[in-house]
Amino acid sequence: MADRKSEHERSLDLLRNSFVKFYVSKPVGEAGTATKDTIEAGKLLREALLLRKKYLFVEDSSRSISKSADTVSPYKFAFVNGVGTVYADEAAQAKGTSLFSVHGPLEFHRDFQRIMSIATAGPVKTFSAERLKFLQFKYQCHKLLNGGREERASLHDPKDFSSVMKVDTHIHLAAAMTGKHLLDYIRGKLASEPDRVVEKTKSGEDITLRTLFEQNKIDMERFTVDALDVRGDDVFHRFDNFNAHYNPFGKSELRTVFLKTSNTIHGEYFAEMTNQIFDRIEEAGHEAAEMRISIYGTSPREWDELSSWVINHNVYSDKNCWLVQVPRIYDLWKRIGRASNFQQVLSNIFEPLFRVTIDPSSNPTLHEFLKEVSGFDSVDDESKLEVGLTETTWEVDPTNWDRPENPPYSYYMYYMWANIQSLNLLRQQKGLNTFDMRPHCGESGDVDHLGSSFLVARGVNHGIALRDSAGLQYLYYLAQVGLAVSPLSNNKLFLQYDKNPFNQFFERGLNVSLSTDDPLQFHYTQSPLLEEYSIASQRWALNSGDLSEIARNSVLQSGFSHEFKKKWLGPQYLLPGVEGNDIHYTNVTDIRVEFRTDTLHEELSVLHACVTGSIQELRSTLSCDMDTASHDYTKLQMYSPAVPILEPEEAIAAKKILGLLNLREKYYHRTAPWSTRLPERDSFPKDVKVVWKDSVATLVTNDKILFEPVSWSEFLNDMNELGRVSTEGTVCTFSYHQMKLLDIKYRFHQLMNSPSENRACKLSSCDFYNIFKVDVHVHGNSAMSADHLLDFIKRKAQAEPSKVVIVNEDKSTETLEAMMKSLNIDPENLTLDTLDVRAADTFKRYDRFANKYSPFGNSNLRRVFLKHENEIEGSYFGELLREVFDHREKTPYTLTEVRITIYGAHMQEWVDLAKWWSTHRLNSPINHWVIQLPRLYHLYHKAGKIQSFDELLKNFFTPLFDATLNPEAHPLLASFLEDVSAFDSVDKETSAEPTINTGTALPAEWTTGVNPNYSYYLYYMWSSLETLNRLRSSRGMNTFDFRPHCGSAGSHHHLLSAYLLSTGISHGLQLDSSITMQYLYYLTQIGIAMSPLLENTVYCRYDANPFDKFFRRGLRVCLSSDNPTQIHMTDEPLIEEYAIAAQMWRYSSADMSEIARNSVLISSFADHEKAMFIGKDYHLPGKDCNDIEKTNVPATRVSFRYDTLDYERQLLFKADRYYDAEGKITPEAAAVRDSEQELRRQRIATAASSLMFVTALKRFRNVLARKRASSPAAAATSD
């Protein structure tokens, strides 16, 4: 490969690696998070990093073998206080002058305690948790903004994930084969060598392979992997069961024969299987491993046996390095008499290594074997109970540790590290390879294991317990300590896969890799490492670039030699950042490497600024502030040039989405998406008439059309265009990225600004309880609590038993008492259970839920008590609602928009409703009415009440036009309409619907019994309502919003028609499965009234409800009660909704107040009322619209919402302006970009000059200060 690239190639590289950057921007003049706690945390973390540096062995990366490596040295060796100590010669040994020194046990103990005190210090925990969340948000932003660029950059290199090197850095040789491999091998040996002597009895008699199986009663005809019993299916939190599964067929004798290096056949079978594993790895071509093999410390001869096994059986592969694992089971050896004290174990492990390093000729086989060893591991069940350690305990050296208890983890770590450190110094001096220390750590057990490993380990295996310690997790990130995580192993043993923190660690930038641990017990395929990557890829949506980064990490973490790493990662891999990355080897883009490098550098810079103690310097480091605009909160600022950086597909998608925004403007126009103020309407002459044209009301005077809504055919075309564009792949991808980015921005805002927002709420003169909130979606016939309804029925049954409440078809009548008796209802013994209105067993059963509207399951009782049209003229229902209003007027900050029904069956309905409203004084100051039209045409047609859909529409709208044109003739209805705020369309959305097209029958021709389509209903309601609003506005009357039920279930097209036609919707759950429509509803700020408690009983379980997701992303959502009778327990149903949401989603006071403010904005209360509720300037953009003394919403929150919305809309506008139809940049845009880049270069040059001046000034002041300190006279002269 050529070292130099052509200029053209360099230009291409520059183009491929250009990516969107972002930074933290803080309020001007504010120190932000640069508090004393922050500075203290930074200093403590820096101290911890220096402590690790003190213990970490710095190796010679070349690891080349010196010519003198095999020569005998005059060095002498002895154990001193448990640590192998080397002397230059006998004289030096006599004097006690060692060649190398290591830190002592007490010093280590104090440093270890210091690490743990730092990691658990309050400021460190808070600071670390915030920084880790920030790192994760930052990565997610990077992935969203630059993921496509990374994928395209990787297309230009010859590598992909399958062809990059990946190292299994944590795999145990005794379980490195799969169950199928082991079974096939055993079956093969039984077939070819049944009479081979493989064991001997205690008396010395031979045992053949066949005999061994017969003695253990293993049926050789029924060999299966299940019978082999090596799968770890019953090991969760049972390490004993896990260890037992190392025994094939549950027999330890078979483990000795097949999976041990030391046995009667000298480990031949184990060696053959190992070489088969090596053959598979080599055939894979792009995999390597670091097999772990055990030294127990029971005898110094173990090393001879192990090295002889490796050398004699030629167990070797270029794709393998050995890691020697030392089980922490001193207590077992003590109990069975194999060790008298801990020192004996240490001596058996390390003395042979020191001896052979000093004199390789003393054990040539071991000497050769050690050349293939890359490090040491310490293994065992971390969850075991440990002996506590104090300084007094640490004074007990290993020789005196003769007690039966096992030393604790940190004791093992120190004496392992100290001996490895001393050995490494000796081997480095002799030009021999050195060893890493990479123990099992943080799989389970105490988190302080991770503290001791942080000091002494190059990397650790597992490390998943870091999720429980933000301080240690951040330290592992800052130090880039390698973590070889094995999610499939963790899933079986200690932590379910979906809870594994691997992906969180990866996103935050910790140095993680994937490893298999024990394929025999956990894996199914014959490529266990790829299986590990594959499952992680599917579970966490990791792409090829992500997997390649993880694979690159595995090579860097491994103990393979410098030469191998150069071959696998590129010749410059040791250089930092992009300079050390070569995509032609790693398939990791420079974009990703630069992001990781810059992010780590920024975090280390924060610590450096903390050490200097300068709050101002820390503030600038934390903010990286490139933004000159003033703002009042900390924000994640995208570098936003005048011409946005967009790929062609992104630009095309943005232009299309802007087109869909413009499409809505034809039907519904606000002055701005953040405003609820309508533009001025036209004024019409007094002689204006309403003329029905194709069942749509139009305004006419002197045969001249003054106003005509968009036609049905045009609406259909627009809806089809909306449906087509909104489901295009590129548009969906763009929308997904933008919505995901909004989510991350909010989480970041919450992380950085919650303290200031909480302070603002505390300083406000109001709180959540005394700010206005509107229950914008509550049905009148279930607006009362079940207790209230039950009490009302009891009262009426006792007070008015003889009242006639039912008139039958044969003119016979029924009193209330008679009706109760006919239903076997005893008023004295009524309970909520017998009332039977609570929603239960209704999930996905709308029919059952609808039945709950009927008290005692009887429709006649519903008619008597919960209808305004009945034989008693709705008196009970009116009284009941009046009581509801009376109760709620006592808490005036909770407002309602109660829904009441007009069916469209006849025109007299409006007159009856207005009379009922007036009779029962239902004009409450805390309520406006929403009129709902049920989509039940087919039922009225079947009953013979109407003949066509046109008749239904005219029954519904004609009285409204009459009362508007001539209110004096219809005073009661005209007065009632002043109390109406909106219209709704309701019914089950999952019903089968006829298809519609331009050939669909017009309403006058719709005379069949088939119910029209949802969109058909919505269009014809909207069109006449739009005409009605134009007419009423011209006459100075109140107008009506259109807020249908939409998106609780059913077709995607419901969301399309509501997007074009509605002011707001109720429910909107289906937006969660339609990402483009979700983005459009966000951009237009269409109000969405959600009722999670109701939705939990019918449509969507609470924990899956997307309300919180919508809220985070900035959709204009609010909470509503919907059906208190069926759902709620208290007399405060709306507050109950807020309370449960606050608990479920951990909402703050600011969050609750924002949702309450949204409810006012979504509501159809008049402009002057909203001004009274949330501030006179509520319709203005930005923070100027907010009055915290009325809303309790901090200005920072309102500013954030406005800024993010404005950024999205500006992005679309700029894409439309600066990119052509093919997504290419226009000549105008190129000129703007060139001009901007030149201006930026000038600013950078100016800033650099200023920085040089400031630096020189600081130096001059320092010199002057020193002069003053040394000589006042000289200082006076210099002054």
User: What residues are labeled active site?
Assistant: 462
Find, among 255, 261, 263, the residue nearest to 182 by Cα.
255
Find, among 1116, 1002, 284, the residue nearest to 774 by Cα.
1116
Kindly state the tokens that stand for 28.
Answer: 């001007």
Assess contact for 1155 and 1111: CB atoms under 8 A: yes
Find, among 477, 495, 474, 478, the residue nearest to 486 by Cα.
495
Taking the C-alpha atoms of residue 874 and residue 54, their distance in angstroms, rounded to an integer, is 85
Handedness of CA 1096, 1101, 1105, 1108 (dihedral sign): positive
Assess contact for 1067 and 1095: CB atoms under 8 A: yes
Find, among 993, 938, 1020, the residue nearest to 946 by Cα.
938
Taking the C-alpha atoms of residue 877 and residue 874, their distance in angstroms, rounded to an integer, is 5
Kindly state the tokens that stand for 190.
Answer: 């039984």
Assess contact for 79 and 351: CB atoms under 8 A: yes
For residue 24, the surrounding DSSP H or E stretch is strand 22-25
The span from the first CA to the last CA of the chain, in angstroms, equals 63
User: Which class for 631: exposed (0-12), middle (13-18), buried (19 or more C-beta within 10 A)?
Assistant: middle
Question: What is the bridge-based pairing of β-strands 1117-1119 and 1087-1090?
Answer: parallel
- Give the length of the chain: 1279
3-state secondary structure of 496: coil
Q: Which amino acid is at 972?
A: L
Residues 6+ apart with CB under 8 A from 474: 45, 127, 128, 131, 132
Find, among 149, 17, 134, 20, the residue nearest to 1211 by Cα.
20
For residue 167, the surrounding DSSP H or E stretch is strand 166-172
Find, among 368, 380, 238, the residue nearest to 316 by Cα.
368
Q: Where are the alpha helices (DSSP H) in 193-284?
A: 209-215, 225-228, 239-244, 252-259, 268-284
Taking the C-alpha atoms of residue 660 and residue 657, their distance in angstroms, rounded to an integer, is 5
Taking the C-alpha atoms of residue 290 and residue 274, their distance in angstroms, rounded to an integer, is 12
Taking the C-alpha atoms of residue 719 and residue 723, their distance in angstroms, rounded to an integer, is 6
For 336, other C-beta atoms within 10 Å of its C-beta total 9
Q: Token pair 């062609």 is at which residue? A: 648
Distances (CA, A) of 1065 to 496, 729, 1043, 1056, 1124: 40, 26, 5, 12, 19
Backbone angles phi and psi of 788, in degrees to 5 = -65, -45
Find, among 626, 623, 624, the residue nearest to 634 by Cα.
623
Distances (CA, A) of 1038 to 680, 862, 1172, 1176: 13, 33, 17, 19
Query: Dihedral through CA 534, CA 537, CA 539, CA 541, nearest 10?
Result: -160
For residue 126, the surrounding DSSP H or E stretch is helix 122-154
SS3 content of the chain, % helix, strand, coil (to 5): 55, 10, 35
Assess contact for 540 and 412: CB atoms under 8 A: no
Taking the C-alpha atoms of residue 310 and residue 278, their distance in angstroms, rounded to an integer, is 13
